[in-house]
Structure 1
Amino acid sequence: MTLPGPFGTPGRRGAVALAAAALGVLAVAVLGAGLARAGTGELRIPAAGTTTLLRLLLLAGLAVAVGELAGRRIAGEGPLPRPLAAPGALLAAGAAAGLLLLLAAVSGLSLPVVYGLREGRLLLVTANACLLAAVCAASRRPGLAALPLAAAIAAEALRAHPETAGFGVGTALTVVHLTAASLWTGTLLYVLRVLRPRGRGGRAVLLRYARMAACAYAALAATGTVSTLRRLPPEMVFATAYGRVLLVKLALFGGASLLALAARSRLRSGADAAPPARVELAVLAVVVALSALLTVVPDPHWLRH
Protein backbone atom coordinates (compact mmCIF):
# COMPACT_ATOMS: atom_id res chain seq x y z
CA MET A 1 0.00 0.00 0.00
CA THR A 2 1.34 3.45 -0.94
CA LEU A 3 0.69 6.37 1.32
CA PRO A 4 -0.46 9.53 -0.48
CA GLY A 5 1.82 12.53 -0.51
CA PRO A 6 1.37 15.65 1.61
CA PHE A 7 -0.51 17.36 -1.19
CA GLY A 8 -2.52 14.34 -2.31
CA THR A 9 -5.87 13.22 -0.94
CA PRO A 10 -5.12 11.43 2.34
CA GLY A 11 -8.60 12.19 3.58
CA ARG A 12 -11.00 14.97 4.28
CA ARG A 13 -9.14 16.13 7.39
CA GLY A 14 -5.92 16.54 5.45
CA ALA A 15 -7.63 18.54 2.70
CA VAL A 16 -9.39 20.74 5.25
CA ALA A 17 -6.09 21.31 7.09
CA LEU A 18 -4.36 22.32 3.86
CA ALA A 19 -7.16 24.71 2.88
CA ALA A 20 -7.26 26.20 6.38
CA ALA A 21 -3.49 26.69 6.34
CA ALA A 22 -3.64 28.47 2.96
CA LEU A 23 -6.40 30.78 4.20
CA GLY A 24 -4.55 31.38 7.46
CA VAL A 25 -1.32 32.27 5.69
CA LEU A 26 -3.16 34.64 3.33
CA ALA A 27 -5.02 36.29 6.21
CA VAL A 28 -1.81 36.81 8.17
CA ALA A 29 -0.05 38.38 5.20
CA VAL A 30 -2.89 40.69 4.16
CA LEU A 31 -4.59 41.59 7.45
CA GLY A 32 -2.17 40.61 10.19
CA ALA A 33 -0.33 43.88 10.76
CA GLY A 34 -3.49 45.99 10.81
CA LEU A 35 -5.37 43.67 13.16
CA ALA A 36 -2.41 43.30 15.51
CA ARG A 37 -1.84 47.03 16.01
CA ALA A 38 -5.54 47.96 16.40
CA GLY A 39 -5.95 49.95 19.61
CA THR A 40 -2.24 49.98 20.46
CA GLY A 41 -1.55 53.49 19.23
CA GLU A 42 1.38 52.23 17.14
CA LEU A 43 2.01 53.82 13.78
CA ARG A 44 0.92 52.09 10.59
CA ILE A 45 3.73 50.24 8.87
CA PRO A 46 4.01 51.20 5.17
CA ALA A 47 3.47 48.24 2.79
CA ALA A 48 3.07 45.91 5.77
CA GLY A 49 1.11 43.31 3.80
CA THR A 50 3.60 43.15 0.93
CA THR A 51 6.54 43.05 3.33
CA THR A 52 4.96 40.23 5.33
CA LEU A 53 4.31 38.22 2.17
CA LEU A 54 7.89 38.66 0.95
CA ARG A 55 9.26 37.77 4.38
CA LEU A 56 7.04 34.67 4.36
CA LEU A 57 8.38 33.61 0.97
CA LEU A 58 11.93 34.18 2.19
CA LEU A 59 11.45 32.06 5.31
CA ALA A 60 9.56 29.39 3.37
CA GLY A 61 12.28 29.18 0.73
CA LEU A 62 14.97 28.82 3.38
CA ALA A 63 12.96 26.11 5.15
CA VAL A 64 12.49 24.11 1.92
CA ALA A 65 16.20 24.32 1.06
CA VAL A 66 17.52 23.62 4.56
CA GLY A 67 14.93 20.90 5.16
CA GLU A 68 15.84 19.06 1.97
CA LEU A 69 19.55 19.08 2.83
CA ALA A 70 18.76 17.53 6.21
CA GLY A 71 16.06 15.27 4.81
CA ARG A 72 18.32 13.68 2.23
CA ARG A 73 20.72 12.70 5.00
CA ILE A 74 18.03 10.86 6.98
CA ALA A 75 16.14 9.44 3.99
CA GLY A 76 18.59 6.55 3.52
CA GLU A 77 18.34 4.14 0.62
CA GLY A 78 15.29 4.17 -1.61
CA PRO A 79 13.46 6.38 -4.08
CA LEU A 80 13.52 10.12 -3.40
CA PRO A 81 11.10 12.87 -4.43
CA ARG A 82 11.93 15.52 -6.99
CA PRO A 83 14.50 17.95 -5.53
CA LEU A 84 13.11 21.29 -4.41
CA ALA A 85 16.15 22.77 -2.65
CA ALA A 86 17.23 24.80 -5.68
CA PRO A 87 13.73 26.23 -6.35
CA GLY A 88 13.37 26.94 -2.62
CA ALA A 89 16.65 28.84 -2.52
CA LEU A 90 15.68 30.74 -5.67
CA LEU A 91 12.37 31.65 -4.04
CA ALA A 92 14.24 33.01 -1.02
CA ALA A 93 16.63 34.94 -3.28
CA GLY A 94 13.75 36.46 -5.22
CA ALA A 95 11.95 37.42 -2.00
CA ALA A 96 15.10 39.10 -0.64
CA ALA A 97 15.50 41.01 -3.90
CA GLY A 98 11.84 42.00 -3.71
CA LEU A 99 12.34 43.29 -0.17
CA LEU A 100 15.30 45.32 -1.37
CA LEU A 101 13.22 46.92 -4.12
CA LEU A 102 10.35 47.50 -1.70
CA LEU A 103 12.71 49.19 0.76
CA ALA A 104 13.81 51.57 -1.99
CA ALA A 105 10.22 52.28 -3.02
CA VAL A 106 8.94 52.88 0.52
CA SER A 107 11.90 55.03 1.58
CA GLY A 108 11.95 57.00 -1.66
CA LEU A 109 15.67 56.35 -2.03
CA SER A 110 17.55 55.12 -5.08
CA LEU A 111 18.94 51.59 -5.09
CA PRO A 112 22.59 52.73 -4.81
CA VAL A 113 21.67 54.65 -1.65
CA VAL A 114 19.68 51.68 -0.28
CA TYR A 115 22.69 49.43 -0.87
CA GLY A 116 24.59 51.66 1.54
CA LEU A 117 22.06 51.15 4.33
CA ARG A 118 22.60 48.38 6.87
CA GLU A 119 19.33 46.64 5.99
CA GLY A 120 20.01 47.05 2.28
CA ARG A 121 23.44 45.45 2.59
CA LEU A 122 22.07 42.54 4.61
CA LEU A 123 19.26 41.95 2.11
CA LEU A 124 21.82 41.97 -0.67
CA VAL A 125 23.90 39.38 1.20
CA THR A 126 20.78 37.24 1.74
CA ALA A 127 19.77 37.42 -1.94
CA ASN A 128 23.26 36.57 -3.20
CA ALA A 129 23.76 33.79 -0.64
CA CYS A 130 20.45 32.18 -1.56
CA LEU A 131 21.28 32.48 -5.27
CA LEU A 132 24.61 30.73 -4.65
CA ALA A 133 22.79 28.09 -2.57
CA ALA A 134 20.46 27.42 -5.51
CA VAL A 135 23.44 26.89 -7.82
CA CYS A 136 25.06 24.52 -5.31
CA ALA A 137 21.82 22.61 -4.72
CA ALA A 138 21.43 22.04 -8.46
CA SER A 139 25.01 20.81 -8.82
CA ARG A 140 26.45 17.33 -8.31
CA ARG A 141 27.38 18.27 -4.74
CA PRO A 142 24.15 19.73 -3.29
CA GLY A 143 25.59 19.57 0.23
CA LEU A 144 27.72 22.62 -0.62
CA ALA A 145 24.52 24.69 -0.39
CA ALA A 146 24.77 24.48 3.41
CA LEU A 147 27.43 27.21 3.54
CA PRO A 148 25.58 29.93 1.61
CA LEU A 149 22.34 28.99 3.39
CA ALA A 150 24.13 29.51 6.71
CA ALA A 151 25.29 32.93 5.47
CA ALA A 152 21.72 33.83 4.51
CA ILE A 153 20.43 32.82 7.94
CA ALA A 154 23.18 34.83 9.65
CA ALA A 155 22.32 37.90 7.54
CA GLU A 156 18.64 37.54 8.45
CA ALA A 157 19.54 37.28 12.14
CA LEU A 158 21.65 40.43 11.93
CA ARG A 159 18.83 42.25 10.15
CA ALA A 160 16.42 41.23 12.92
CA HIS A 161 18.62 42.95 15.53
CA PRO A 162 19.41 46.45 14.24
CA GLU A 163 20.06 47.61 17.80
CA THR A 164 23.36 45.69 17.91
CA ALA A 165 26.44 46.67 15.94
CA GLY A 166 27.79 43.14 15.63
CA PHE A 167 27.01 39.49 16.23
CA GLY A 168 25.58 39.74 19.75
CA VAL A 169 23.61 37.38 21.95
CA GLY A 170 20.27 38.25 20.35
CA THR A 171 21.66 37.60 16.88
CA ALA A 172 23.13 34.26 17.94
CA LEU A 173 19.78 33.22 19.45
CA THR A 174 18.02 34.15 16.22
CA VAL A 175 20.48 32.10 14.15
CA VAL A 176 19.77 29.00 16.23
CA HIS A 177 16.03 29.74 16.27
CA LEU A 178 15.75 30.23 12.51
CA THR A 179 17.87 27.17 11.79
CA ALA A 180 15.81 24.99 14.13
CA ALA A 181 12.54 26.27 12.67
CA SER A 182 13.75 25.58 9.12
CA LEU A 183 14.82 22.07 10.10
CA TRP A 184 11.52 21.24 11.83
CA THR A 185 9.27 22.59 9.08
CA GLY A 186 11.36 21.99 5.96
CA THR A 187 12.50 18.49 6.87
CA LEU A 188 8.94 17.47 7.76
CA LEU A 189 7.83 18.59 4.30
CA TYR A 190 10.63 16.58 2.68
CA VAL A 191 9.95 13.47 4.77
CA LEU A 192 6.25 13.56 3.91
CA ARG A 193 7.20 13.80 0.24
CA VAL A 194 9.49 10.78 0.69
CA LEU A 195 6.48 8.76 1.87
CA ARG A 196 4.81 9.08 -1.50
CA PRO A 197 7.21 6.84 -3.46
CA ARG A 198 8.04 4.59 -0.52
CA GLY A 199 4.67 3.98 1.12
CA ARG A 200 4.91 1.95 4.33
CA GLY A 201 8.64 1.64 3.76
CA GLY A 202 8.98 5.27 4.72
CA ARG A 203 8.19 4.57 8.37
CA ALA A 204 11.90 4.27 9.18
CA VAL A 205 12.47 7.73 7.69
CA LEU A 206 9.73 9.14 9.91
CA LEU A 207 11.39 7.56 12.94
CA ARG A 208 14.73 9.14 12.10
CA TYR A 209 13.03 12.47 11.47
CA ALA A 210 11.27 12.28 14.85
CA ARG A 211 14.62 12.02 16.63
CA MET A 212 16.06 14.98 14.73
CA ALA A 213 12.87 17.01 15.18
CA ALA A 214 13.02 16.53 18.95
CA CYS A 215 16.42 18.27 19.02
CA ALA A 216 15.20 21.04 16.72
CA TYR A 217 12.10 21.49 18.89
CA ALA A 218 14.18 21.81 22.07
CA ALA A 219 16.44 24.42 20.44
CA LEU A 220 13.42 26.28 19.07
CA ALA A 221 11.63 26.39 22.41
CA ALA A 222 14.73 27.42 24.36
CA THR A 223 15.87 30.19 22.02
CA GLY A 224 12.32 31.45 21.54
CA THR A 225 11.77 31.72 25.28
CA VAL A 226 15.06 33.50 25.96
CA SER A 227 14.60 35.89 23.01
CA THR A 228 11.08 36.78 24.14
CA LEU A 229 12.20 37.47 27.71
CA ARG A 230 15.00 39.70 26.42
CA ARG A 231 12.86 41.56 23.90
CA LEU A 232 9.32 41.83 25.22
CA PRO A 233 8.56 43.23 28.70
CA PRO A 234 5.54 41.47 30.33
CA GLU A 235 3.52 44.70 30.50
CA MET A 236 3.74 45.04 26.71
CA VAL A 237 2.40 41.61 25.78
CA PHE A 238 -1.20 42.74 25.23
CA ALA A 239 -0.43 46.40 24.55
CA THR A 240 1.73 45.90 21.46
CA ALA A 241 1.21 44.33 18.06
CA TYR A 242 4.37 42.29 18.59
CA GLY A 243 3.04 40.80 21.81
CA ARG A 244 -0.34 39.96 20.31
CA VAL A 245 1.16 38.24 17.28
CA LEU A 246 3.54 36.36 19.54
CA LEU A 247 0.65 35.05 21.66
CA VAL A 248 -1.11 33.68 18.58
CA LYS A 249 2.14 32.16 17.36
CA LEU A 250 2.71 30.48 20.73
CA ALA A 251 -0.81 29.04 20.69
CA LEU A 252 -0.29 27.53 17.24
CA PHE A 253 3.18 26.36 18.26
CA GLY A 254 1.54 24.48 21.11
CA GLY A 255 -0.95 22.94 18.68
CA ALA A 256 1.86 21.83 16.37
CA SER A 257 3.63 20.33 19.38
CA LEU A 258 0.57 18.25 20.29
CA LEU A 259 0.27 17.06 16.69
CA ALA A 260 3.95 16.09 16.70
CA LEU A 261 3.38 14.09 19.88
CA ALA A 262 0.36 12.40 18.29
CA ALA A 263 2.42 11.44 15.24
CA ARG A 264 5.20 10.08 17.46
CA SER A 265 2.68 8.07 19.47
CA ARG A 266 1.24 6.56 16.29
CA LEU A 267 4.74 5.71 15.09
CA ARG A 268 5.47 3.80 18.29
CA SER A 269 2.20 1.89 18.07
CA GLY A 270 2.81 0.94 14.43
CA ALA A 271 -0.10 3.03 13.13
CA ASP A 272 0.03 5.47 10.22
CA ALA A 273 1.67 8.66 11.52
CA ALA A 274 1.32 10.60 8.27
CA PRO A 275 -2.18 12.10 8.87
CA PRO A 276 -1.29 14.04 12.07
CA ALA A 277 2.07 14.93 10.52
CA ARG A 278 0.33 16.52 7.54
CA VAL A 279 -1.91 18.57 9.81
CA GLU A 280 1.20 19.51 11.82
CA LEU A 281 2.83 20.79 8.63
CA ALA A 282 -0.27 22.85 7.83
CA VAL A 283 -0.18 24.45 11.29
CA LEU A 284 3.54 25.11 10.95
CA ALA A 285 2.87 26.94 7.68
CA VAL A 286 0.72 29.45 9.58
CA VAL A 287 3.40 29.66 12.30
CA VAL A 288 5.95 30.60 9.63
CA ALA A 289 3.57 33.30 8.38
CA LEU A 290 3.26 34.68 11.90
CA SER A 291 7.06 34.63 12.23
CA ALA A 292 7.23 36.72 9.07
CA LEU A 293 4.68 39.12 10.54
CA LEU A 294 6.75 39.49 13.71
CA THR A 295 9.57 40.92 11.59
CA VAL A 296 7.20 43.59 10.22
CA VAL A 297 5.25 44.89 13.24
CA PRO A 298 6.94 47.52 15.46
CA ASP A 299 9.79 46.16 17.56
CA PRO A 300 8.92 46.53 21.29
CA HIS A 301 12.63 46.87 22.04
CA TRP A 302 12.49 50.50 20.98
CA LEU A 303 9.50 51.24 23.22
CA ARG A 304 11.65 50.72 26.31
CA HIS A 305 14.05 53.48 25.35
Structure 2
Amino acid sequence: MKSIEAKGLTKEFRMVQSRSGLAGAFRDLFNRQYRTIRAVDEIDLTIEPGEIVGYIGENGAGKSTTIKMLTGILEPTAGHLRVNGYDPHREREKFVRTIGVVFGQRSQLWWDIAVRESFRLLKKLYRVPDDVHECHMNRLVEVLDIGSFLDQPVRKLSLGQRMRCELAAALIHQPRLLFLDEPTIGLDVLVKENIRRFLKQINQEYGTTVLLTTHDLSDIEALCSRVVMLDKGRVIYDGGLKELSVQWGGGQRILLELEEDWPLLPLEEKTRGLSVVWTKEGERRYQVRLTGQESGVSEVLSRLVSHVTVKEIRIEESTTEDIVRRIYREGVHHA
Protein backbone atom coordinates (compact mmCIF):
# COMPACT_ATOMS: atom_id res chain seq x y z
CA MET A 1 0.00 0.00 0.00
CA LYS A 2 1.31 3.43 -0.96
CA SER A 3 1.67 6.13 1.70
CA ILE A 4 0.29 8.71 -0.74
CA GLU A 5 -1.38 8.01 -4.07
CA ALA A 6 -2.82 10.97 -5.97
CA LYS A 7 -3.93 11.00 -9.59
CA GLY A 8 -5.19 14.15 -11.31
CA LEU A 9 -5.54 15.87 -7.93
CA THR A 10 -7.22 19.25 -8.46
CA LYS A 11 -8.53 22.02 -6.23
CA GLU A 12 -10.50 25.02 -7.46
CA PHE A 13 -11.81 27.98 -5.48
CA ARG A 14 -14.75 30.16 -6.51
CA MET A 15 -13.97 33.81 -5.86
CA VAL A 16 -16.18 36.89 -6.01
CA GLN A 17 -15.20 39.17 -8.92
CA SER A 18 -15.70 42.67 -7.51
CA ARG A 19 -16.60 45.50 -9.89
CA SER A 20 -14.99 48.91 -9.51
CA GLY A 21 -16.58 52.06 -8.14
CA LEU A 22 -19.61 52.75 -6.00
CA ALA A 23 -22.01 51.71 -8.76
CA GLY A 24 -20.10 48.44 -9.18
CA ALA A 25 -20.24 47.76 -5.45
CA PHE A 26 -24.01 48.41 -5.49
CA ARG A 27 -24.49 45.97 -8.41
CA ASP A 28 -22.42 43.36 -6.56
CA LEU A 29 -25.00 43.40 -3.76
CA PHE A 30 -27.68 42.04 -6.10
CA ASN A 31 -25.79 40.37 -8.94
CA ARG A 32 -22.44 38.89 -7.95
CA GLN A 33 -19.95 37.76 -10.54
CA TYR A 34 -17.57 34.91 -9.81
CA ARG A 35 -14.31 33.60 -11.19
CA THR A 36 -12.70 30.22 -10.62
CA ILE A 37 -9.10 29.92 -9.47
CA ARG A 38 -7.33 26.57 -9.89
CA ALA A 39 -4.85 26.38 -7.02
CA VAL A 40 -3.79 22.77 -7.67
CA ASP A 41 -3.89 21.57 -11.26
CA GLU A 42 -4.12 17.80 -11.90
CA ILE A 43 -1.20 16.70 -9.75
CA ASP A 44 0.04 13.10 -9.90
CA LEU A 45 1.97 12.11 -6.78
CA THR A 46 2.99 8.71 -5.41
CA ILE A 47 5.03 8.29 -2.23
CA GLU A 48 6.19 4.89 -1.03
CA PRO A 49 6.32 3.89 2.67
CA GLY A 50 9.56 4.97 4.34
CA GLU A 51 10.40 7.77 1.90
CA ILE A 52 11.42 11.26 3.00
CA VAL A 53 10.21 13.61 0.27
CA GLY A 54 10.72 17.36 0.01
CA TYR A 55 7.73 19.28 -1.39
CA ILE A 56 8.84 22.74 -2.44
CA GLY A 57 7.69 25.76 -4.42
CA GLU A 58 7.34 29.52 -4.25
CA ASN A 59 4.57 31.22 -2.27
CA GLY A 60 1.28 30.67 -4.10
CA ALA A 61 2.56 27.58 -5.95
CA GLY A 62 -0.12 25.38 -4.33
CA LYS A 63 1.90 23.63 -1.59
CA SER A 64 -0.38 24.49 1.33
CA THR A 65 -3.52 23.64 -0.64
CA THR A 66 -2.06 20.24 -1.52
CA ILE A 67 -1.12 19.53 2.10
CA LYS A 68 -4.63 20.49 3.24
CA MET A 69 -6.11 17.98 0.78
CA LEU A 70 -3.62 15.28 1.79
CA THR A 71 -4.46 15.78 5.47
CA GLY A 72 -8.23 15.88 4.90
CA ILE A 73 -8.79 19.56 5.72
CA LEU A 74 -9.92 20.34 2.15
CA GLU A 75 -11.87 18.11 -0.21
CA PRO A 76 -10.43 17.89 -3.76
CA THR A 77 -12.47 19.34 -6.60
CA ALA A 78 -11.42 16.43 -8.83
CA GLY A 79 -9.01 13.52 -8.97
CA HIS A 80 -8.26 10.32 -7.09
CA LEU A 81 -6.63 10.48 -3.64
CA ARG A 82 -5.65 7.82 -1.11
CA VAL A 83 -3.39 8.45 1.88
CA ASN A 84 -2.43 5.38 3.95
CA GLY A 85 -5.26 3.60 2.13
CA TYR A 86 -7.95 6.12 3.22
CA ASP A 87 -9.89 8.92 1.61
CA PRO A 88 -8.56 11.72 3.87
CA HIS A 89 -11.72 13.84 3.77
CA ARG A 90 -14.46 11.19 3.86
CA GLU A 91 -12.79 8.72 6.24
CA ARG A 92 -11.34 11.39 8.45
CA GLU A 93 -11.76 9.75 11.89
CA LYS A 94 -9.91 6.56 10.94
CA PHE A 95 -7.45 8.40 8.73
CA VAL A 96 -6.14 10.92 11.30
CA ARG A 97 -4.96 8.08 13.54
CA THR A 98 -2.43 7.13 10.86
CA ILE A 99 -0.80 10.56 10.37
CA GLY A 100 1.11 13.14 12.37
CA VAL A 101 1.24 16.82 11.48
CA VAL A 102 3.66 19.57 12.53
CA PHE A 103 3.01 23.11 11.31
CA GLY A 104 5.86 25.46 12.18
CA GLN A 105 3.51 28.43 12.67
CA ARG A 106 0.71 26.62 14.56
CA SER A 107 0.68 24.61 17.77
CA GLN A 108 -1.19 21.42 18.63
CA LEU A 109 -0.22 21.80 22.29
CA TRP A 110 -2.39 23.54 24.89
CA TRP A 111 -0.82 26.93 25.54
CA ASP A 112 -1.42 27.32 29.28
CA ILE A 113 -0.90 23.82 30.64
CA ALA A 114 2.28 21.81 31.20
CA VAL A 115 3.75 20.00 28.21
CA ARG A 116 3.33 16.68 30.03
CA GLU A 117 -0.43 17.30 30.40
CA SER A 118 -0.75 18.08 26.69
CA PHE A 119 0.88 14.74 25.94
CA ARG A 120 -1.56 12.95 28.26
CA LEU A 121 -4.54 14.58 26.56
CA LEU A 122 -3.24 13.57 23.14
CA LYS A 123 -2.67 10.02 24.40
CA LYS A 124 -6.34 9.80 25.37
CA LEU A 125 -7.45 11.43 22.14
CA TYR A 126 -5.58 8.83 20.07
CA ARG A 127 -6.47 6.00 22.51
CA VAL A 128 -2.86 4.89 22.95
CA PRO A 129 -2.51 2.02 25.51
CA ASP A 130 -0.70 2.99 28.73
CA ASP A 131 2.21 0.56 28.36
CA VAL A 132 2.82 1.48 24.71
CA HIS A 133 2.61 5.19 25.52
CA GLU A 134 5.06 5.05 28.41
CA CYS A 135 7.72 3.13 26.49
CA HIS A 136 7.39 5.26 23.35
CA MET A 137 7.29 8.59 25.23
CA ASN A 138 10.40 7.72 27.23
CA ARG A 139 12.19 7.20 23.93
CA LEU A 140 10.91 10.49 22.47
CA VAL A 141 11.81 12.45 25.62
CA GLU A 142 15.32 11.02 25.58
CA VAL A 143 16.07 11.52 21.88
CA LEU A 144 14.51 15.01 21.68
CA ASP A 145 16.00 16.03 25.05
CA ILE A 146 12.76 17.57 26.36
CA GLY A 147 12.71 16.08 29.87
CA SER A 148 13.87 19.28 31.60
CA PHE A 149 10.80 21.31 30.58
CA LEU A 150 7.95 18.75 30.52
CA ASP A 151 6.38 20.45 33.56
CA GLN A 152 6.48 23.95 32.07
CA PRO A 153 3.50 25.50 30.27
CA VAL A 154 3.95 25.71 26.51
CA ARG A 155 3.79 29.54 26.53
CA LYS A 156 7.04 29.65 28.57
CA LEU A 157 9.05 27.56 26.12
CA SER A 158 11.50 28.96 23.59
CA LEU A 159 10.72 28.36 19.90
CA GLY A 160 13.29 25.56 19.68
CA GLN A 161 11.91 23.85 22.80
CA ARG A 162 8.34 24.14 21.53
CA MET A 163 9.19 22.67 18.12
CA ARG A 164 10.81 19.63 19.77
CA CYS A 165 7.65 19.18 21.85
CA GLU A 166 5.50 19.58 18.73
CA LEU A 167 7.44 16.75 17.08
CA ALA A 168 6.94 14.53 20.14
CA ALA A 169 3.20 15.35 20.17
CA ALA A 170 2.86 14.47 16.47
CA LEU A 171 4.50 11.09 17.08
CA ILE A 172 2.67 10.04 20.28
CA HIS A 173 0.45 7.58 18.35
CA GLN A 174 3.34 6.34 16.15
CA PRO A 175 1.84 7.50 12.83
CA ARG A 176 2.89 5.85 9.59
CA LEU A 177 3.07 9.22 7.80
CA LEU A 178 4.37 12.54 9.13
CA PHE A 179 3.58 15.89 7.48
CA LEU A 180 6.07 18.64 8.30
CA ASP A 181 5.34 22.22 7.25
CA GLU A 182 8.33 24.53 7.92
CA PRO A 183 9.44 22.51 10.99
CA THR A 184 12.70 24.46 11.48
CA ILE A 185 11.43 27.99 10.76
CA GLY A 186 13.10 30.56 13.02
CA LEU A 187 15.36 28.03 14.75
CA ASP A 188 19.09 28.38 15.30
CA VAL A 189 21.60 26.13 13.54
CA LEU A 190 22.19 23.74 16.45
CA VAL A 191 18.46 23.12 17.09
CA LYS A 192 17.89 22.58 13.35
CA GLU A 193 20.65 19.99 13.28
CA ASN A 194 19.18 18.16 16.30
CA ILE A 195 15.72 18.04 14.71
CA ARG A 196 17.11 16.78 11.40
CA ARG A 197 19.05 14.05 13.21
CA PHE A 198 15.90 13.01 15.08
CA LEU A 199 13.82 12.84 11.88
CA LYS A 200 16.42 10.58 10.28
CA GLN A 201 16.31 8.35 13.35
CA ILE A 202 12.54 7.89 13.41
CA ASN A 203 12.57 7.26 9.66
CA GLN A 204 15.18 4.53 10.06
CA GLU A 205 13.84 2.97 13.28
CA TYR A 206 10.09 3.08 12.62
CA GLY A 207 9.98 3.37 8.82
CA THR A 208 8.00 6.61 9.17
CA THR A 209 7.20 8.27 5.85
CA VAL A 210 7.87 12.02 5.86
CA LEU A 211 6.53 14.72 3.54
CA LEU A 212 8.45 17.93 4.19
CA THR A 213 7.46 21.38 2.93
CA THR A 214 9.96 24.13 3.62
CA HIS A 215 11.61 27.26 2.27
CA ASP A 216 14.85 26.26 4.03
CA LEU A 217 16.52 24.19 1.32
CA SER A 218 19.24 23.05 3.70
CA ASP A 219 16.50 20.92 5.32
CA ILE A 220 15.87 19.31 1.93
CA GLU A 221 19.58 18.66 1.36
CA ALA A 222 20.01 17.17 4.84
CA LEU A 223 16.93 14.91 4.84
CA CYS A 224 15.51 14.19 1.39
CA SER A 225 16.72 11.94 -1.38
CA ARG A 226 13.72 12.97 -3.51
CA VAL A 227 12.16 16.35 -4.17
CA VAL A 228 8.83 17.34 -5.75
CA MET A 229 8.74 20.91 -7.07
CA LEU A 230 5.52 22.80 -7.68
CA ASP A 231 4.84 25.89 -9.79
CA LYS A 232 1.43 27.46 -10.45
CA GLY A 233 -0.35 24.36 -9.16
CA ARG A 234 1.56 21.90 -11.33
CA VAL A 235 4.44 19.53 -10.63
CA ILE A 236 7.45 20.70 -12.65
CA TYR A 237 9.99 18.28 -11.18
CA ASP A 238 9.74 14.96 -9.34
CA GLY A 239 12.97 13.06 -8.79
CA GLY A 240 16.21 12.74 -6.92
CA LEU A 241 18.33 15.61 -5.64
CA LYS A 242 21.32 14.36 -7.61
CA GLU A 243 19.29 14.23 -10.82
CA LEU A 244 17.95 17.72 -10.09
CA SER A 245 21.54 18.96 -9.91
CA VAL A 246 22.39 17.31 -13.25
CA GLN A 247 19.20 18.52 -14.98
CA TRP A 248 19.20 22.10 -13.70
CA GLY A 249 22.49 22.77 -11.95
CA GLY A 250 24.75 23.14 -14.97
CA GLY A 251 27.07 20.44 -13.59
CA GLN A 252 30.22 20.71 -11.52
CA ARG A 253 32.80 23.37 -12.30
CA ILE A 254 36.56 22.88 -12.03
CA LEU A 255 38.42 26.16 -11.54
CA LEU A 256 42.06 25.85 -12.55
CA GLU A 257 45.10 28.07 -12.25
CA LEU A 258 47.94 26.79 -14.44
CA GLU A 259 51.66 27.46 -14.15
CA GLU A 260 51.70 28.81 -17.72
CA ASP A 261 49.14 30.57 -19.89
CA TRP A 262 47.63 28.25 -22.51
CA PRO A 263 45.32 28.92 -25.47
CA LEU A 264 41.95 27.18 -25.12
CA LEU A 265 42.24 25.02 -28.24
CA PRO A 266 45.05 22.66 -27.08
CA LEU A 267 43.34 22.27 -23.66
CA GLU A 268 40.06 21.37 -25.37
CA GLU A 269 41.96 18.84 -27.51
CA LYS A 270 43.28 17.10 -24.39
CA THR A 271 39.72 16.57 -23.09
CA ARG A 272 38.18 15.67 -26.45
CA GLY A 273 35.40 13.10 -26.05
CA LEU A 274 34.47 14.24 -22.54
CA SER A 275 31.28 16.22 -21.82
CA VAL A 276 33.02 19.44 -20.76
CA VAL A 277 32.98 23.11 -21.72
CA TRP A 278 36.15 25.19 -21.33
CA THR A 279 36.16 28.92 -20.52
CA LYS A 280 39.19 31.18 -20.09
CA GLU A 281 38.66 33.27 -16.95
CA GLY A 282 41.84 35.33 -17.09
CA GLU A 283 45.59 34.91 -17.46
CA ARG A 284 46.43 31.29 -16.54
CA ARG A 285 42.92 30.86 -15.07
CA TYR A 286 40.31 28.52 -16.60
CA GLN A 287 36.89 27.05 -15.86
CA VAL A 288 35.95 23.53 -16.95
CA ARG A 289 32.21 22.85 -16.69
CA LEU A 290 31.11 19.21 -16.60
CA THR A 291 27.88 18.94 -18.60
CA GLY A 292 27.19 15.18 -18.40
CA GLN A 293 27.17 12.43 -15.78
CA GLU A 294 29.60 10.27 -17.77
CA SER A 295 32.54 12.71 -17.25
CA GLY A 296 34.03 13.00 -13.78
CA VAL A 297 36.48 15.46 -12.21
CA SER A 298 39.19 12.81 -11.84
CA GLU A 299 38.97 11.86 -15.53
CA VAL A 300 39.34 15.50 -16.63
CA LEU A 301 42.35 16.05 -14.36
CA SER A 302 44.05 12.80 -15.40
CA ARG A 303 43.93 13.99 -19.03
CA LEU A 304 45.55 17.31 -18.08
CA VAL A 305 48.22 16.69 -15.44
CA SER A 306 50.58 14.83 -17.77
CA HIS A 307 50.62 17.81 -20.17
CA VAL A 308 50.17 20.97 -18.06
CA THR A 309 51.34 22.06 -14.62
CA VAL A 310 48.38 22.82 -12.36
CA LYS A 311 49.08 25.42 -9.68
CA GLU A 312 45.65 25.51 -7.98
CA ILE A 313 42.39 23.55 -8.26
CA ARG A 314 38.95 24.40 -6.90
CA ILE A 315 35.80 22.34 -7.50
CA GLU A 316 32.41 24.05 -7.23
CA GLU A 317 28.91 22.65 -7.40
CA SER A 318 25.56 24.45 -7.55
CA THR A 319 23.64 24.32 -4.27
CA THR A 320 19.98 23.30 -4.18
CA GLU A 321 19.13 26.93 -3.48
CA ASP A 322 21.03 28.06 -6.61
CA ILE A 323 19.23 25.44 -8.71
CA VAL A 324 15.74 26.28 -7.45
CA ARG A 325 16.35 29.99 -7.98
CA ARG A 326 17.48 29.29 -11.55
CA ILE A 327 14.40 27.15 -12.28
CA TYR A 328 11.97 29.85 -11.19
CA ARG A 329 13.95 32.61 -12.90
CA GLU A 330 14.46 30.89 -16.26
CA GLY A 331 11.28 28.80 -16.43
CA VAL A 332 10.50 25.12 -16.77
CA HIS A 333 10.94 25.09 -20.55
CA HIS A 334 14.70 24.90 -20.01
CA ALA A 335 14.39 21.42 -18.45
Greater relative CO (CA pairs within 8 A, separation 6+): 1
Q: Say which structure is richer in strand.
A: 2
Q: Say which structure is richer in helix.
A: 1
- TM-score, scaled to structure 1: 0.31
Q: Which has the larger radius of gyration?
A: 2
